[in-house]
Structure 1
């Protein structure tokens, strides 16, 4: 539904979905379209038509929001609240070709705080993507994206002593190739991410050097699937990575991999999803850092109790980069459950609960996070939508080198205009 999707996400899905649907019409053993989630369901009377431009369609959109945050610095004491005003212009462009595809997107987010203007930020994203249809069941997709982003104060990697939010740039390039023949589908992928962090002032007036966080991450992998039936496939996947920091003194250069097995499925009209489990390992160049290894897991299961309600369960266990002094990384465990309900054709209700735990390596620190959210979406017509969202986050950090502990409540109201 184009009214509910940001320009960057919309551009990707508008690029990929038409081809997937056509492949499924040709008798793919990997189609999983028996059910449609509340958010995916077409609503022709409430979707943007876009602006035709030759063989392309342009989808402009702008969202205005006001948010009340009761703990803008994400601290346990001396909490400060503020009202944040936000404007987000976006545009997505996609081709209307019968074969192959080309798209582009751009968005910006301008945040203005009523009382604490040192928290004001501007973010933006620009990108292009494309798909080449080679033969039936075979295609190659590629994307290139540049982002200027701000690290949230609630992030576990946000420096506690920073006087202003940390800004950084992220350049991401990706190539994915898919080959499907009869009961077998092979997917290969290559992703390159380059992070560049800006230095930031500390609360004492000095400078917090962020150069030690600048890095390049390369991921490469292969996934092989076998369809045991039209609604169930088993697969094996291996994904390797190489992470190189710009400064050798950071000591966190590493190589790693995760090897998993799993299944994707759509069982009757009630359940659809993908589950995988395996082993992960990250080896560090600096001898003082031990390898991080253990069970790797990822799951997304959608339950359809009725056509008007979708319940989604997510879970993951991954190795993440750390910025805490003395730690090479941490194992992040996350689970969540969300529900979307179509109260009326143009009124959607949503709620989510989540829990996460980060176990840091080489230092005495553990973080636990509890989150919840609830929202209402009211689609007035194909050009206007109104949103109301409440978000809660609590983090408890323990250990001799613990990070920040806090709780944070946000209430936001938004209006989106699109054409």
Structure 2
């Protein structure tokens, strides 16, 4: 093991952050502002869905960090450390085990204005493997968001971010012959607007993502080119919603996208254009059940005749059940068309679902458990289907406003079938995280 082990373990006892999946109060600053998928804005009036508050969203005035006020801004600095034991760091049939020490400083700055809103964030995620240093990674991100309140029921949003990310070894797109993880940079931007007209709510947004992948060493020598995966993805989205009552609304949504690849080695063009149309409902039934469900049709058409168009049913849904004030049970499901870099297939149909329970054992002790399932059905000449069950449990203990502890276990398994099947593997991870928030 590397010489820095004792220093890192000592730091683990002093610094802190949640890994992001458990307590809302100890989420890393910037995580929420880095999600550019929606410009839905705050739901008010007949479209409000706040009759019940979930365990992770609940305010805890006696435990929540106060932040640091600087003029008209509120600053939320965080520093964290975690130790993870992973029995299969390469996601192979025969696993290689290692321990990973992570260090994550982050800061979120946001305005406290009565109208309008501006925020900015920056974060760093450094991961060191004790016995396999080629797996080390340093990821970072920074960006900002803003909202302009133009008048009653009218607002405009926008945001941008830039980040460097390391592709997980468990990702279906990760090259199995890579001697080191793939790094890539992502530039994101979005704009959107919301208009409430009594019983009618109109939402529109546009976003763009520019992804650039690095070259990596291959096992046995040579390089795996990253430029073949470079692409720009953009989308235009709209949603019109009608309030049947103060607890139920129906909506229609339409989305169009374009995906442009920057092929660098003569590959058939993977450029494509797609559309998704759906009908759905949003509801808040008594104080027990809240949800947003949509079902529709998706199609992705590829420019090259070498790739068959992909189409199918699109599903997006989230249900929350509140049987007790201290217990929140949530279920999410989705089906969509995603890109792939495998030869012979330009896209695959992704179907996923998760059931999760969060329990407030004490105001400062939160328990969680989840089970999930994902299926990747590749379309085109390639014959491959991946089935991925997963599960996890965790506990978060807030010592005071400043310090929190989190521990848990995560399991993932992949069963791949077909003539071009991928690797079958399973991973078991135990983690311990300490969080310090100012």
Give the TM bin, normalised by the shorter chain: over 0.9
Q: How far is 1:2 from its partner? A: 5.7
From 32, 38, 58, the equivalent of 1:41 is 58
Ranges of 4+ aligned residues in structure 1 off by more than 2 Å: 1-4, 9-13
Q: How far is 1:102 from its partner? A: 0.8
- DSSP-derived class of the 2:267 partner: helix
Give the superposed CA RMSD.
1.5
1:206 equivalent in alignment to 2:206: no
Determine the structure 1 residue equivalent to 2:366.
348
The 1:370–1:410 alpha-carbon spacing in structure 2 relative to 1, beyond 3 Å, is same
- The residue correspondences of 1:189-200 to structure 2 (distance < 5 A) are 189-200=205-216
From 386, 390, 404, the equivalent of 1:371 is 390
Determine the structure 2 residue equivalent to 1:129.
145
Report the Cα distance in structure 1 between the residues aligned to 2:432 and 2:192, rounded to whole angstroms: 37
**Runs of 5+ in structure 2 lacking a partner?**
1-22
The total of aligned residue pairs comes to 410
1:316 equivalent in alignment to 2:338: no
Report the Cα distance in structure 2 between the residues aligned to 1:144 and 1:316, rounded to whole angstroms: 26
Of residues 244-253 and 327-336 in structure 1, the stretch that sits farther from structure 2 once superposed is 244-253
Q: How far is 1:255 from its partner? A: 0.2
Q: Residues 21-68 of structure 1, C-alpha deviation per residue, up to 9 Å, x if partnerless? A: xx73xxx11000100000011101111111111110110001100000
Determine the structure 2 residue equivalent to 1:6.
28
Determine the structure 2 residue equivalent to 1:97.
113
If asked which structure has higher relative contact order (CA below 8 Å, sep 6+), I would say 2
From 290, 314, 324, the equivalent of 2:308 is 290
1:408 equivalent in alignment to 2:427: yes
Determine the structure 2 residue equivalent to 1:278.
296
Equivalent residues of 2:82, 2:433 under 8 A apart: yes
Q: How far is 1:10 from its partner? A: 4.4
1:56 equivalent in alignment to 2:78: no
Determine the structure 2 residue equivalent to 1:232.
248
From 151, 162, 168, the equivalent of 2:184 is 168
- DSSP-derived class of the 2:25 partner: helix
Q: How far is 1:249 from its partner? A: 3.1
The 1:218–1:12 alpha-carbon spacing in structure 2 relative to 1, beyond 3 Å, is closer
Report the Cα distance in structure 2 between the residues aligned to 1:183 and 1:99, rounded to whole angstroms: 23
The 1:304–1:2 alpha-carbon spacing in structure 2 relative to 1, beyond 3 Å, is closer
**Runs of 5+ in structure 1 lacking a partner?**
none
Equivalent residues of 1:3, 1:385 under 8 A apart: no
- DSSP-derived class of the 1:249 partner: coil
- The residue correspondences of 1:211-222 to structure 2 (distance < 5 A) are 211-222=227-238
Report the Cα distance in structure 2 between the residues aligned to 1:137 and 1:3, rounded to whole angstroms: 29
Report the Cα distance in structure 1 between the residues aligned to 2:210 and 2:281, rounded to whole angstroms: 32
Q: How far is 1:195 from its partner? A: 0.4
Q: Residues 220-266 of structure 1, C-alpha deviation per residue, up to 9 Å, x if partnerless? A: 01100000000100000000000000127341100001000000100
